[in-house]
Amino acid sequence: MPLKILTFYLDGYLLGIDITVVKEINRNIAYTPVPDAPPHIVGLLNVRGQVVTLFDLARLLGFARTDIGQRNSCIILKTIPGNSCYAGFLFDQPGSVIDVTDEMSELPPANLNHPENVYIERIVKMNAEVIMVIDRKRVIQ
């Protein structure tokens, strides 16, 4: 059975995440910054009474440009069993949902040993593009 991933763009990169861990996508959000929060925490968002912590995924991944001021759409992730806290991250532009077979994906190359690359779960080769699939558990931790 193929894996379904939701693709999205962030700082010009095509990324993806397993669709089964996505709770929802919200556009035109308004969030509240958290004073003295770590740099990778953007703020808090109220979604139908649930407080969602927003992460700067670009900063976690070590991207050079992280202009979060232009971003107003987020992907909210389902909680991890045993953890009732919701988390999400901002992104630039949505992509699509694609089916990924075992032949299309592989583990990240061994030479990607920067600390930021622990957030990359798989690499998907699709035509001329490469999609980095995010590891939800590591992002939330």
For each of the chain's 141 residues, which pLDDT tens digit applies?
A: 788 999 999 988 899 999 999 999 999 888 999 999 998 898 999 998 889 999 888 888 888 765 666 678 999 998 777 777 889 999 999 999 999 998 898 888 776 656 556 778 888 998 888 999 988 777 766
Superfamily of domain covering 3-140: CheA-289, Domain 4 (2.40.50.180)
Q: Answer whether 22's CB lies under 8 Å from 15's CB.
A: no
- CA–CA distance, 93 with 4 (Å, rounded to integer): 18
- Please give the pLDDT value at position 85: 80
* Residue 135: alpha-carbon gap to chain centroid: 8
Domain residue ranges of the chain, discontinuous segments joined by +? 3-140
Specify the pLDDT at position 141.
64
3-state secondary structure the chain: CCEEEEEEEECCEEEEEEHHHEEEEECCCCCECCCCCCCCEEEEEEECCEEEEEECHHHHCCCCCCCHHHCCEEEEECCCCCCCCEEEEEECEEEEEEEECHHHEECCCCCCCCHHHHHEEEEEEECCEEEEEECHHHHHC
How do residues 12-22 score in pLDDT, each as one tens digit?
Answer: 889 999 999 99
Q: What is the pLDDT of residue 68?
A: 66
Q: Tell me what pLDDT residue 52 has.
A: 93
The pLDDT of residue 115 is: 57
